[in-house]
Amino acid sequence: MSGPEEGRDPQSVGRFDVPQQVPAPDAEPARRNGHRPAAQAAPTPTEPPASITPPASTPTPTAPRASSASPTAKPADEVDAGLTGGTEPAVSDRPGDHWDRKVANGLAFLRRRLSGDYEVDEFGFDSELTDAVFHPLLRLLYRDWFRTEVSGVEHVPVDGPALVVGNHSGTVALDALILSAALHDKHPAHRYLRLLGADLVFRMPVVSELARKTGGTVACNPDAERLLGGGDLVGVFPEGFKGIGKLYADRYKLQRFGRGGFVSAALRTGTPIVPVAIVGGEEIYPMLADIKPLARLLKLPYFPVTPTFPLLGPLGMVPLPSKWLIEFCPPIPTAHLTDSADDPLVVFNLADQVRETIQQTLHTLLERRPDPFGP
Protein backbone atom coordinates (compact mmCIF):
# COMPACT_ATOMS: atom_id res chain seq x y z
CA MET A 1 0.00 0.00 0.00
CA SER A 2 2.67 2.43 -0.87
CA GLY A 3 1.29 5.85 -1.61
CA PRO A 4 1.98 7.16 -5.07
CA GLU A 5 3.92 10.06 -3.64
CA GLU A 6 6.78 7.77 -2.76
CA GLY A 7 7.80 7.35 -6.33
CA ARG A 8 7.91 11.04 -6.79
CA ASP A 9 11.13 12.82 -6.27
CA PRO A 10 10.55 15.70 -3.92
CA GLN A 11 13.30 17.75 -5.42
CA SER A 12 11.52 20.86 -6.45
CA VAL A 13 12.68 23.99 -4.77
CA GLY A 14 11.65 26.80 -7.04
CA ARG A 15 8.25 28.29 -6.79
CA PHE A 16 6.88 26.77 -9.94
CA ASP A 17 9.48 24.13 -10.31
CA VAL A 18 6.99 21.30 -10.55
CA PRO A 19 8.22 17.90 -11.69
CA GLN A 20 7.96 17.99 -15.41
CA GLN A 21 7.22 14.85 -17.35
CA VAL A 22 5.65 16.27 -20.43
CA PRO A 23 7.72 16.91 -23.50
CA ALA A 24 6.54 20.46 -23.20
CA PRO A 25 8.39 23.36 -24.75
CA ASP A 26 10.58 23.81 -21.74
CA ALA A 27 14.07 23.15 -23.00
CA GLU A 28 13.45 25.77 -25.61
CA PRO A 29 14.42 28.53 -26.29
CA ALA A 30 17.50 30.31 -25.10
CA ARG A 31 16.70 33.69 -26.45
CA ARG A 32 19.27 36.00 -25.12
CA ASN A 33 20.63 38.98 -26.88
CA GLY A 34 24.10 37.81 -26.05
CA HIS A 35 25.39 40.96 -24.47
CA ARG A 36 24.61 40.23 -20.86
CA PRO A 37 26.34 37.62 -18.78
CA ALA A 38 24.15 35.05 -17.14
CA ALA A 39 25.14 36.01 -13.63
CA GLN A 40 23.55 39.43 -13.96
CA ALA A 41 20.68 38.02 -15.82
CA ALA A 42 18.82 36.89 -12.77
CA PRO A 43 17.13 39.90 -11.29
CA THR A 44 15.07 37.83 -8.87
CA PRO A 45 16.88 37.68 -5.57
CA THR A 46 14.34 35.38 -3.91
CA GLU A 47 15.00 32.53 -6.27
CA PRO A 48 17.58 29.84 -5.74
CA PRO A 49 20.02 30.52 -8.55
CA ALA A 50 20.76 26.88 -9.18
CA SER A 51 18.39 26.43 -12.07
CA ILE A 52 19.20 29.45 -14.18
CA THR A 53 22.27 28.53 -16.12
CA PRO A 54 21.21 27.99 -19.69
CA PRO A 55 23.70 27.17 -22.39
CA ALA A 56 25.19 30.60 -22.74
CA SER A 57 26.38 30.45 -26.29
CA THR A 58 23.36 29.28 -28.20
CA PRO A 59 22.25 32.02 -30.52
CA THR A 60 18.82 30.56 -31.04
CA PRO A 61 16.74 32.37 -33.59
CA THR A 62 13.71 32.13 -31.40
CA ALA A 63 11.90 35.29 -32.18
CA PRO A 64 11.26 34.44 -35.82
CA ARG A 65 10.53 30.85 -34.87
CA ALA A 66 7.97 31.78 -32.32
CA SER A 67 6.17 34.06 -34.70
CA SER A 68 6.18 31.50 -37.45
CA ALA A 69 5.20 28.68 -35.15
CA SER A 70 1.84 30.19 -34.39
CA PRO A 71 0.70 32.25 -37.31
CA THR A 72 -2.85 31.57 -36.25
CA ALA A 73 -2.50 33.26 -32.89
CA LYS A 74 -5.81 34.99 -32.43
CA PRO A 75 -6.20 38.43 -30.89
CA ALA A 76 -7.81 36.86 -27.85
CA ASP A 77 -4.68 34.89 -27.25
CA GLU A 78 -2.60 37.97 -27.65
CA VAL A 79 -4.63 39.67 -24.95
CA ASP A 80 -4.43 36.60 -22.79
CA ALA A 81 -0.72 36.37 -23.25
CA GLY A 82 -0.34 40.03 -22.49
CA LEU A 83 -2.30 39.60 -19.31
CA THR A 84 -0.32 36.63 -18.14
CA GLY A 85 2.91 38.26 -19.08
CA GLY A 86 1.79 41.46 -17.41
CA THR A 87 3.76 40.75 -14.29
CA GLU A 88 6.88 40.17 -16.25
CA PRO A 89 8.02 43.22 -18.16
CA ALA A 90 10.13 44.29 -15.20
CA VAL A 91 12.38 41.35 -15.91
CA SER A 92 11.56 40.29 -19.41
CA ASP A 93 13.98 42.73 -20.93
CA ARG A 94 16.64 40.70 -19.21
CA PRO A 95 17.59 37.50 -21.00
CA GLY A 96 14.74 35.15 -20.54
CA ASP A 97 15.52 31.45 -20.55
CA HIS A 98 14.83 31.17 -16.85
CA TRP A 99 11.53 32.96 -17.07
CA ASP A 100 10.55 31.18 -20.20
CA ARG A 101 10.99 27.88 -18.48
CA LYS A 102 9.01 29.10 -15.53
CA VAL A 103 6.13 30.12 -17.74
CA ALA A 104 6.28 26.83 -19.61
CA ASN A 105 6.38 24.88 -16.37
CA GLY A 106 3.52 26.88 -14.95
CA LEU A 107 1.39 26.28 -18.00
CA ALA A 108 2.21 22.59 -18.06
CA PHE A 109 1.26 22.43 -14.41
CA LEU A 110 -2.01 24.16 -15.14
CA ARG A 111 -2.76 21.76 -17.97
CA ARG A 112 -1.98 18.73 -15.82
CA ARG A 113 -4.27 20.03 -13.11
CA LEU A 114 -7.09 20.75 -15.52
CA SER A 115 -6.89 17.37 -17.17
CA GLY A 116 -6.62 15.47 -13.90
CA ASP A 117 -3.17 14.14 -14.76
CA TYR A 118 -1.84 13.79 -11.26
CA GLU A 119 -1.78 11.24 -8.49
CA VAL A 120 -3.54 11.32 -5.14
CA ASP A 121 -2.71 8.79 -2.48
CA GLU A 122 -5.31 6.89 -0.50
CA PHE A 123 -5.40 9.57 2.18
CA GLY A 124 -6.02 12.24 -0.45
CA PHE A 125 -2.48 13.66 -0.36
CA ASP A 126 -1.67 15.54 -3.54
CA SER A 127 2.11 16.00 -3.51
CA GLU A 128 2.18 17.96 -6.76
CA LEU A 129 -0.30 20.54 -5.53
CA THR A 130 1.45 20.72 -2.17
CA ASP A 131 4.82 21.36 -3.82
CA ALA A 132 3.56 23.85 -6.33
CA VAL A 133 1.02 25.84 -4.34
CA PHE A 134 0.86 25.23 -0.61
CA HIS A 135 4.52 24.99 0.29
CA PRO A 136 5.52 28.13 -1.63
CA LEU A 137 2.83 30.08 0.22
CA LEU A 138 3.86 28.67 3.57
CA ARG A 139 7.49 29.34 2.68
CA LEU A 140 6.76 33.05 2.43
CA LEU A 141 5.12 32.87 5.81
CA TYR A 142 7.67 30.88 7.74
CA ARG A 143 10.80 32.26 6.10
CA ASP A 144 10.01 35.89 5.46
CA TRP A 145 7.24 36.70 7.90
CA PHE A 146 8.20 34.58 10.94
CA ARG A 147 11.98 34.37 10.23
CA THR A 148 11.89 30.78 11.44
CA GLU A 149 15.09 29.11 12.60
CA VAL A 150 15.07 25.32 12.50
CA SER A 151 17.55 23.18 14.41
CA GLY A 152 18.01 19.50 15.04
CA VAL A 153 16.67 18.35 11.65
CA GLU A 154 19.24 15.56 11.80
CA HIS A 155 17.08 13.94 14.50
CA VAL A 156 14.36 13.29 11.92
CA PRO A 157 15.22 10.04 10.14
CA VAL A 158 16.08 10.24 6.46
CA ASP A 159 13.85 7.30 5.62
CA GLY A 160 11.44 5.06 7.43
CA PRO A 161 8.66 6.06 9.76
CA ALA A 162 8.83 8.48 12.66
CA LEU A 163 6.24 10.17 14.81
CA VAL A 164 6.92 13.88 15.24
CA VAL A 165 5.19 15.17 18.38
CA GLY A 166 4.97 18.91 18.94
CA ASN A 167 3.45 21.56 21.16
CA HIS A 168 0.38 23.24 19.80
CA SER A 169 -0.27 26.96 19.96
CA GLY A 170 -1.53 30.03 18.23
CA THR A 171 -5.37 30.06 18.26
CA VAL A 172 -5.41 28.66 14.73
CA ALA A 173 -3.26 25.65 14.05
CA LEU A 174 -0.78 27.52 11.89
CA ASP A 175 2.16 25.91 13.69
CA ALA A 176 1.35 22.52 12.21
CA LEU A 177 1.47 23.89 8.67
CA ILE A 178 4.64 25.88 9.33
CA LEU A 179 6.28 22.79 10.84
CA SER A 180 5.44 20.63 7.85
CA ALA A 181 6.66 23.19 5.31
CA ALA A 182 9.84 24.01 7.24
CA LEU A 183 10.63 20.34 7.77
CA HIS A 184 10.12 19.60 4.10
CA ASP A 185 12.46 22.42 3.09
CA LYS A 186 15.19 21.91 5.68
CA HIS A 187 15.30 18.14 5.78
CA PRO A 188 17.96 16.62 3.52
CA ALA A 189 15.48 14.06 2.15
CA HIS A 190 12.71 16.72 1.83
CA ARG A 191 10.23 14.53 3.61
CA TYR A 192 6.57 15.32 3.86
CA LEU A 193 5.08 15.52 7.30
CA ARG A 194 1.70 13.82 7.36
CA LEU A 195 -0.32 15.75 9.93
CA LEU A 196 -3.08 14.26 12.03
CA GLY A 197 -5.95 16.69 12.55
CA ALA A 198 -8.97 16.85 14.79
CA ASP A 199 -12.22 15.68 13.27
CA LEU A 200 -13.51 19.26 13.46
CA VAL A 201 -11.06 20.07 10.67
CA PHE A 202 -12.60 17.36 8.53
CA ARG A 203 -16.14 18.48 9.28
CA MET A 204 -15.58 21.87 7.69
CA PRO A 205 -15.95 22.08 3.93
CA VAL A 206 -12.96 23.49 2.01
CA VAL A 207 -10.73 23.24 5.10
CA SER A 208 -11.13 19.47 5.15
CA GLU A 209 -10.03 19.19 1.54
CA LEU A 210 -7.06 21.52 2.05
CA ALA A 211 -6.03 19.33 4.96
CA ARG A 212 -6.33 16.14 2.95
CA LYS A 213 -4.56 17.53 -0.11
CA THR A 214 -1.61 18.68 1.98
CA GLY A 215 -1.24 15.23 3.49
CA GLY A 216 -3.38 15.45 6.59
CA THR A 217 -5.83 12.91 7.84
CA VAL A 218 -8.11 12.34 10.80
CA ALA A 219 -6.31 11.78 14.08
CA CYS A 220 -7.27 8.20 14.78
CA ASN A 221 -5.18 5.16 15.46
CA PRO A 222 -5.98 3.23 12.26
CA ASP A 223 -4.81 6.16 10.10
CA ALA A 224 -1.73 6.86 12.20
CA GLU A 225 -0.69 3.22 12.18
CA ARG A 226 -1.36 2.90 8.47
CA LEU A 227 0.81 5.90 7.69
CA LEU A 228 3.58 4.77 10.02
CA GLY A 229 3.33 1.24 8.65
CA GLY A 230 3.84 2.70 5.19
CA GLY A 231 7.07 4.38 6.34
CA ASP A 232 5.70 7.91 6.48
CA LEU A 233 6.63 10.77 8.75
CA VAL A 234 3.59 11.55 10.88
CA GLY A 235 3.09 14.80 12.78
CA VAL A 236 0.81 14.97 15.77
CA PHE A 237 -0.10 17.58 18.38
CA PRO A 238 -1.48 15.67 21.34
CA GLU A 239 -2.66 18.81 23.13
CA GLY A 240 -5.29 19.37 20.46
CA PHE A 241 -7.67 22.24 21.04
CA LYS A 242 -6.51 22.62 24.61
CA GLY A 243 -3.16 23.70 23.19
CA ILE A 244 -4.21 26.15 20.51
CA GLY A 245 -7.14 27.51 22.49
CA LYS A 246 -5.23 28.50 25.62
CA LEU A 247 -4.95 32.09 26.73
CA TYR A 248 -1.86 34.19 26.09
CA ALA A 249 -1.18 34.18 29.84
CA ASP A 250 -0.65 30.40 29.64
CA ARG A 251 1.75 30.57 26.73
CA TYR A 252 4.35 27.83 26.43
CA LYS A 253 2.72 25.80 29.21
CA LEU A 254 2.10 22.39 27.76
CA GLN A 255 -1.44 21.15 28.29
CA ARG A 256 -2.58 17.63 29.05
CA PHE A 257 -1.60 15.01 26.48
CA GLY A 258 -4.93 13.22 26.51
CA ARG A 259 -5.00 9.47 26.52
CA GLY A 260 -1.66 9.14 24.78
CA GLY A 261 -3.15 7.57 21.70
CA PHE A 262 -0.16 8.78 19.72
CA VAL A 263 2.15 6.76 21.97
CA SER A 264 0.24 3.53 21.43
CA ALA A 265 0.29 4.13 17.67
CA ALA A 266 4.07 4.52 17.83
CA LEU A 267 4.46 1.49 20.08
CA ARG A 268 2.31 -0.72 17.92
CA THR A 269 4.43 0.06 14.88
CA GLY A 270 7.74 0.30 16.76
CA THR A 271 8.25 3.81 15.46
CA PRO A 272 10.66 6.29 17.06
CA ILE A 273 9.09 9.40 18.55
CA VAL A 274 10.74 12.72 17.69
CA PRO A 275 9.64 15.47 20.09
CA VAL A 276 9.67 18.95 18.58
CA ALA A 277 9.43 22.27 20.37
CA ILE A 278 7.99 25.21 18.50
CA VAL A 279 8.50 28.72 19.88
CA GLY A 280 6.79 31.70 18.28
CA GLY A 281 3.37 30.28 17.62
CA GLU A 282 1.91 31.66 20.82
CA GLU A 283 2.47 35.28 19.83
CA ILE A 284 0.93 35.27 16.38
CA TYR A 285 -2.64 35.61 17.66
CA PRO A 286 -2.29 36.31 21.39
CA MET A 287 -5.61 35.18 22.80
CA LEU A 288 -6.69 37.54 25.56
CA ALA A 289 -10.13 36.14 26.19
CA ASP A 290 -12.45 33.39 25.09
CA ILE A 291 -16.11 34.26 24.50
CA LYS A 292 -17.60 30.94 25.49
CA PRO A 293 -21.29 31.59 24.69
CA LEU A 294 -20.38 32.68 21.18
CA ALA A 295 -18.20 29.62 20.77
CA ARG A 296 -21.06 27.41 21.85
CA LEU A 297 -23.38 29.20 19.45
CA LEU A 298 -20.96 28.66 16.55
CA LYS A 299 -20.15 25.13 17.71
CA LEU A 300 -16.46 25.97 17.99
CA PRO A 301 -14.18 24.86 20.81
CA TYR A 302 -13.46 28.52 21.70
CA PHE A 303 -14.04 32.00 20.32
CA PRO A 304 -10.82 34.00 20.53
CA VAL A 305 -10.39 37.67 21.31
CA THR A 306 -6.97 38.95 20.32
CA PRO A 307 -5.68 42.53 20.26
CA THR A 308 -6.68 42.71 16.61
CA PHE A 309 -9.56 40.26 16.32
CA PRO A 310 -12.49 40.77 16.14
CA LEU A 311 -11.69 44.47 16.60
CA LEU A 312 -10.14 44.98 13.16
CA GLY A 313 -12.30 42.44 11.40
CA PRO A 314 -10.54 40.55 8.62
CA LEU A 315 -7.38 42.56 9.24
CA GLY A 316 -7.21 40.84 12.61
CA MET A 317 -6.58 37.59 10.76
CA VAL A 318 -3.09 38.76 9.86
CA PRO A 319 -0.72 36.96 12.23
CA LEU A 320 1.67 39.11 14.25
CA PRO A 321 5.25 38.72 13.00
CA SER A 322 6.78 36.89 15.94
CA LYS A 323 10.18 35.26 15.79
CA TRP A 324 9.96 31.46 15.47
CA LEU A 325 12.37 28.79 16.64
CA ILE A 326 11.78 25.12 15.91
CA GLU A 327 13.94 22.48 17.51
CA PHE A 328 13.72 18.76 16.87
CA CYS A 329 14.85 16.69 19.85
CA PRO A 330 16.69 13.35 19.71
CA PRO A 331 14.34 10.50 18.79
CA ILE A 332 12.97 8.23 21.50
CA PRO A 333 13.15 4.65 20.24
CA THR A 334 10.12 2.46 20.93
CA ALA A 335 10.96 -0.72 19.00
CA HIS A 336 11.70 -2.61 22.23
CA LEU A 337 8.26 -1.76 23.64
CA THR A 338 6.10 -3.09 20.81
CA ASP A 339 4.36 -5.56 23.13
CA SER A 340 3.34 -2.90 25.61
CA ALA A 341 1.14 -0.86 23.29
CA ASP A 342 -1.90 -1.61 25.46
CA ASP A 343 -0.13 -1.17 28.79
CA PRO A 344 -1.42 2.15 30.18
CA LEU A 345 1.57 2.50 32.50
CA VAL A 346 4.08 2.32 29.65
CA VAL A 347 1.95 4.58 27.48
CA PHE A 348 1.55 7.26 30.13
CA ASN A 349 5.21 7.13 31.12
CA LEU A 350 6.31 7.55 27.53
CA ALA A 351 3.79 10.35 26.97
CA ASP A 352 5.16 12.11 30.06
CA GLN A 353 8.71 11.66 28.84
CA VAL A 354 7.81 13.26 25.50
CA ARG A 355 5.92 16.03 27.24
CA GLU A 356 8.80 16.89 29.57
CA THR A 357 11.30 16.86 26.72
CA ILE A 358 9.20 19.33 24.79
CA GLN A 359 8.62 21.53 27.83
CA GLN A 360 12.32 21.71 28.69
CA THR A 361 13.28 22.43 25.10
CA LEU A 362 10.67 25.19 25.03
CA HIS A 363 12.31 26.82 28.05
CA THR A 364 15.79 26.72 26.53
CA LEU A 365 14.46 28.08 23.25
CA LEU A 366 12.67 30.89 25.07
CA GLU A 367 15.94 31.88 26.74
CA ARG A 368 17.53 32.07 23.32
CA ARG A 369 14.77 34.40 22.20
CA PRO A 370 14.39 37.23 24.72
CA ASP A 371 12.31 39.39 22.40
CA PRO A 372 9.28 37.61 20.89
CA PHE A 373 9.27 40.04 17.98
CA GLY A 374 13.04 40.32 17.60
CA PRO A 375 14.92 39.86 14.35
Partner 1 sequence: MTPGGTSGAPGVVVVTGVGRYLGAHVAARLAADPRIERVIGVDAPDSGIEFTDLLDRVERIRVDNGSLGGLLADLDVDAVVHLALVTSPDPQHGGRSGMKDQNVIGSMQMLAACQRAPRLRKLVVRSSTAAYGVSFRDPAVFTEETEPREVPRGGFGRDILDLEGYVRGFRRRRSDVTATVLRFAPFIGSTADTTLTRYFSQPFVPTVFGRDPRLQFLHFDDALEVLHRSIVEDHPGTYNVAGPGVLSLSQAIRRAGRVAVPVLEPGLSGAAALARTMGFGSYGLDQVDLFVHGRVVDTSRLEQEYGFTPRSTAEAFEDFIRAHHGGVVVTRGQLAAAEQLVLDGIRQVRSAIRERSS
- Shortest CB 41 distance to partner 1, Å: 12
- Shortest CB 299 distance to partner 1, Å: 13
* DSSP three-state, residue 235: strand
* Strand stretches in 134-225, DSSP E: 149-151, 162-166, 193-197, 217-218
Of 6, 149, 223, 290, the one binding partner 1 (CB under 8 A) is 223
- Give residues 62-101 in contact with partner 1 (rule: CB under 8 A): 62-63, 66-67, 69-70, 73, 77-78, 80-82, 84-85, 88-89, 92-93, 96, 99-100
- Shortest CB 83 distance to partner 1, Å: 10
Integer CA distances (angstroms), 62 to 23, 32, 54, 59, 97, in order: 18, 9, 15, 9, 11
Give the whole-angstrom CA distance, residue 81 versus residue 94. 18
Those residues whose C-beta lies under 8 Å from the C-beta of residue 353, and which sit 6 or more positions away, are 332
- Give residues 2-21 in contact with partner 1 (rule: CB under 8 A): 4
Of 49, 53, 56, 110, the one binding partner 1 (CB under 8 A) is 110
Nearer to partner 1, 120 or 366 (CB): 120
Site string for partner 1, 268-307 (x = CB under 8 A): ----------------------------------------
Segment interacting with partner 1, rule: CB under 8 A, options 103-111, 152-160, 253-261, 347-355: 103-111
- Shortest CB 333 distance to partner 1, Å: 26
Kindly state whether residue 213 participates in binding partner 1, applying the rule CB under 8 A. Answer: yes
- Give residues 125-144 in contact with partner 1 (rule: CB under 8 A): 126
- Give residues 30-49 in contact with partner 1 (rule: CB under 8 A): 31, 33
295 half-sphere exposure, CB direction, 13 A CA radius? 12
Q: Please tell me the chain's helix, strand, coil percentages from 3-state DSSP, rounded to the nearest 5.
A: 45, 10, 45
- Shortest CB 324 distance to partner 1, Å: 30
The DSSP secondary-structure symbol of 46 reads T
Kindly state whether residue 122 participates in binding partner 1, applying the rule CB under 8 A. Answer: yes
- Shortest CB 48 distance to partner 1, Å: 23
Number of residues that bind partner 1 (CB under 8 A): 63
Kindly state whether residue 1 participates in binding partner 1, applying the rule CB under 8 A. Answer: yes
Nearer to partner 1, 220 or 288 (CB): 220
Q: Where are the alpha helices (DSSP H) in 70-119?
A: 75-84, 89-92, 97-114
Kindly state whether residue 124 participates in binding partner 1, applying the rule CB under 8 A. Answer: yes
12 half-sphere exposure, CB direction, 13 A CA radius? 22
User: Exposed, middle or buried by CB within 10 Å (0-12, 13-18, 19+), for 136?
Assistant: middle
Torsional sign, CA 168, 340, 328, 159: negative
Those residues whose C-beta lies under 8 Å from the C-beta of residue 288, and which sit 6 or more positions away, are 247, 248, 305, 306, 307
Kindly state whether residue 111 participates in binding partner 1, applying the rule CB under 8 A. Answer: yes
Give the whole-angstrom CA distance, residue 247 versus residue 169. 10
The DSSP secondary-structure symbol of 320 reads P
- Shortest CB 69 distance to partner 1, Å: 6
- Estimate to the nearest angstrom the gap between the alpha carbon of 248 and the chain centroid: 25
Kindly state whether residue 209 participates in binding partner 1, applying the rule CB under 8 A. Answer: yes
- Shortest CB 298 distance to partner 1, Å: 17
Give the whole-angstrom CA distance, residue 359 versus residue 257. 12
Question: For binding to partner 1 (CB under 8 A), which residues are involved?
Answer: 1, 4, 24-25, 29, 31, 33, 62-63, 66-67, 69-70, 73, 77-78, 80-82, 84-85, 88-89, 92-93, 96, 99-100, 103-104, 107-108, 110-111, 113-118, 120-124, 126, 199, 202-209, 212-213, 217-218, 220, 222-223, 226
